[in-house]
Amino acid sequence: MARTIALTSEKTPAVGSVTREQQRLLRTWMSGLNALTDARSPTQTAAFLGRPLLLQLLRGTLPPRVEAFQRGYLRGILASMGHEHLAPADLRVSGWVEEELRPRLTAGQLPSPEQMAFLLDRIFSSPEEERWEGTFELGCLLGLLWRLIHLPGNTLASVEALSVLAAKIKSLDAQRPVRLNPGARVVDLCGSGKRRIQLPSISTTASILAAYLARERGLPVVVSKSCSGGTSRPTGSADSLEVLLGRPVATSIQENQSLSARLGLSFWRCEQYMPRFAHWYHGTTFAPTALSVCAPAVLASPVERQRIIYGLTAGPIEVCARVLSRLYPEAEVLVVSGRSADGAPLLDEVSPWGSTEWVSARAGILEQGSWSFEQVGLSRSPLYEAGAIPLQQFLSGDAPSDFQDMASIEAALILGDGDLRNLDAQQVAQVRATLGTPGLQAFIAEMRAATLAA
């Protein structure tokens, strides 16, 4: 059984007018919908849709944009299984996305690239007065895609369809590529979020650790950290950083270039660099969707990078790696998904409780495998769940051992060759020994001063 560590002193704002209780229910709701596509049992679908507390969410208690997306997602999930008739009568609204794709749904086929382009152009060109309709259709499309991208034999078709989706998302807020620290290897570490359990910001801690050690060791490594405010959880990576830095994470390109030159670290807030897309999507979803497989946190940053390390809570990681490799052919790509002890997808990090499934794409070569903490001399432990442990506390070495190990492994991946198979116990131990040291604390103080000056 999971144990809960009550360390929640960090800022924990609600998302707009979605309360924390609604966030919790929406996580349960969306995770349950996604799970229905595995069983495809009408009996299980009917039982799930008979839970009145969850269905109340979709009947006027949510902000209009969130309700529109959730109603669309419900319709898409049910239509993908042929269970739309099981929904309550007032939630049986269909839309033009479903009608357009119905022939392919019947055959278990994904939309063609041309169909995806047509659907996305129509959704994102919806006039402001019809935005709720467009949000409903976006939810429906993502719900339909969720089951289809998991069907055996659909891998290549999924890559085609999701590559169009990712390219469209990227084009909504097109930015000129940004170059950081010429001659350095730029590494982007981020994740999908929407984890099944609450954890502190592992990847943010790892990014700061790696930037500090790269400077200390004289390594030509620069860390580009994409971050966002909390949506599926009370606290997102950007919220955690704001507490640590004492200012909002809203740095301009020029400020980030200055921070990178001085610290080897930069912060790219997704909502700031993808405002048009955030207008449609941010804060509407509370579990992984097909869009998570497109790595929106990677798409948000305009940085030219040589390595991308992306954590995917749930979804086909091979499809994710192939999509990223298409969009960023010059970059090395590593996608990881942490599993629970029983093998279920659990988090967008390396897992101390089960295996970590991974897929890498380098120079056109795709590899995949399974990795575990035992391979670096660490043992698995019982599942922990924690709230928002403040970054300062984490970086001071005052966090559960499992979380320190997770951050140390991810920092070692940034500093090394990005291959889990090549990590060893000494590399991880050396990184972990940095937590709480005076040198790291001085680096954090310098980081605060630099961001405040910016």
Identify whether 7 is part of a domain.
no
Last residue of a domain, one of 148, 172, 196: 172
Identify whether 6 is part of a domain.
no
pLDDT at 369: 97
Are both 232 and 317 inside the same structural domain? Answer: yes
Between CA 88 and CA 296 the distance in angstroms is 33
Between CA 29 and CA 287 the distance in angstroms is 9
Identify whether 439 is part of a domain.
yes
| 6 compared with 155, residue with greater pLDDT | 155
Between CA 30 and CA 210 the distance in angstroms is 34
pLDDT at 286: 86
**Residue 377: which CATH number?**
3.40.1030.10
Are both 143 and 239 inside the same structural domain? Answer: no
**Structural domains of the chain, count:** 2
Both tokens assigned to 183: 């001659």
Per-residue pLDDT tens over the stretch 434-448: 999 999 999 999 999
Identify whether 190 is part of a domain.
yes
Are both 196 and 165 inside the same structural domain? Answer: no
pLDDT at 14 over 70: no
**Range from 7-21, 73-87, 408-422 carrying the lowest mean pLDDT:** 7-21
Judge whether 260 and 225 are in contact, CB under 8 Å. Answer: no
Are both 275 and 363 inside the same structural domain? Answer: yes
pLDDT at 3: 28
Identify whether 401 is part of a domain.
yes
**300 alpha carbon, distance to own chain's centre:** 12
| Mean of pLDDT values over 406-433 | 97
Are both 356 and 417 inside the same structural domain? Answer: yes
Point out which residues pair with 357 in neighbouring strands: 337, 370
Are both 99 and 192 inside the same structural domain? Answer: no
Are both 162 and 189 inside the same structural domain? Answer: no
Query: Could you tell me the end-to-end alpha-carbon distance of the chain, in angstroms, rounded to an integer?
Result: 46
Per-residue pLDDT tens over the stretch 303-355: 999 999 999 999 999 999 999 999 999 999 999 999 999 999 999 999 999 99
Judge whether 47 and 86 are in contact, CB under 8 Å. Answer: no
- The mean pLDDT of the chain is 88
pLDDT at 7 over 60: no
Identify whether 8 is part of a domain.
no
| Mean of pLDDT values over 352-372 | 96
Per-residue pLDDT tens over the stretch 89-148: 888 888 999 999 999 988 889 999 999 999 999 999 888 767 788 999 999 999 999 999
Identify whether 1 is part of a domain.
no
Last residue of a domain, one of 172, 194, 223: 172
Last residue of a domain, one of 107, 140, 172: 172
Helix or strand run (H / E) with residue 325 = helix 317-327
The residues, ordered by sequence, that sit 6+ positions from 347 with a Cβ below 8 Å of its Cβ are: 195, 196, 197, 199, 311, 313, 337, 338
Q: How many other CB atoms are found less than 10 A from the CB of residue 184?
A: 18
Structural domain including 57 reads 13-172
- Of 130-134, 175-179, 198-202, highest mean pLDDT: 175-179
Judge whether 268 and 226 are in contact, CB under 8 Å. Answer: yes
Could you write out the DSSP letters of every residue in 248-275?
-S---HHHHHHHHHHHSEEEEEHHHH-H
**Which residue type occupies 182?**
P
Are both 168 and 189 inside the same structural domain? Answer: no
Are both 189 and 168 inside the same structural domain? Answer: no
Q: What band does 58 get if pLDDT is binned at 50, 70 and 90? A: confident
Are both 117 and 195 inside the same structural domain? Answer: no
**Residue 389: closest CA among 223, 212, 198, 210:** 198
Are both 190 and 319 inside the same structural domain? Answer: yes
111: DSSP letter: P
pLDDT at 249: 75
Tokens 């930037």, residue located: 211
Identify whether 5 is part of a domain.
no
pLDDT at 194 over 50: yes
